[in-house]
Amino acid sequence: MQKEKYFMDVVIQKETLSDGAPIYVAHCASLGIASQGKDIEEAMANIKEAMQATREIMSNPETMQQIAESEEDIRQGRTKIINAVSDVLRK
């Protein structure tokens, strides 16, 4: 079975923490996600992991329904306990 390939733009910016230490922040605007790392390689590895998790979430109809219901609750001013992403992915 051939592995599917996806191409997304990722921008990595060097930032400085409050203690002066450098940190690299990776942004994927197409998915609206970001991650970080102590160097460019770690930031890239972390954003790839975040992109994979986002893809898994978006390909699960049950999870997407939960997200839609939560968004509607927020729009209506209702609050709701939302599970951590890791809890959702274990289902």
Q: What's the predicted TM-score (pTM) here?
A: 0.67
Q: What is the pLDDT of residue 87?
A: 57
Q: What is the DSSP string of 26-65?
A: EEETTTTEEEEESSHHHHHHHHHHHHHHHHHHHT-HHHHH
pLDDT of residue 36: 96
Mean per-residue pLDDT pooled into runs of 10, the chain (91 residues):
79 96 95 95 96 86 81 72 56 53
